């Protein structure tokens, strides 16, 4: 799903990309650092639904770090 979302982001289809990334996060890939730092997803950084998804993933990532410690 991440690769397809990257393609959608590159093609200027932020809604489709964000939907796929939200599904990927919900089904086992809640990887905030990857979603935030992937240059192929950079076009989404000004898309409000994607920003909200990143914020939720950031909060989850911080909670995991508090619970399990830094890796």
Domain boundaries, the chain: 2-68
Q: How many helices (H) and strands (E) does the chain have?
A: 4, 0
**CB burial of residue 50 (10 Å; 0-12, 13-18, 19+):** buried
- For 50-71, write each residue's pLDDT tens digit: 999 999 999 999 998 899 987 5
Least confident of 18-22, 36-40, 66-70: 66-70
Please indicate whether residue 30 or residue 71 has the higher confidence score (pLDDT). 30
Residue 69: what pLDDT? 83
């Amino acid at each position: 799903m991440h690769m397809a979302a990257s393609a959608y982001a590159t093609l200027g289809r932020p809604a489709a990309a964000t939907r796929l990334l939200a599904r990927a996060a919900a089904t086992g890939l809640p990887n905030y650092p990857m979603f935030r730092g992937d240059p192929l997803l950079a076009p989404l950084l000004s898309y409000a639904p994607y920003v909200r998804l990143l914020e939720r993933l950031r909060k989850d990532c911080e909670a995991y770090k508090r619970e399990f410690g830094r890796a």
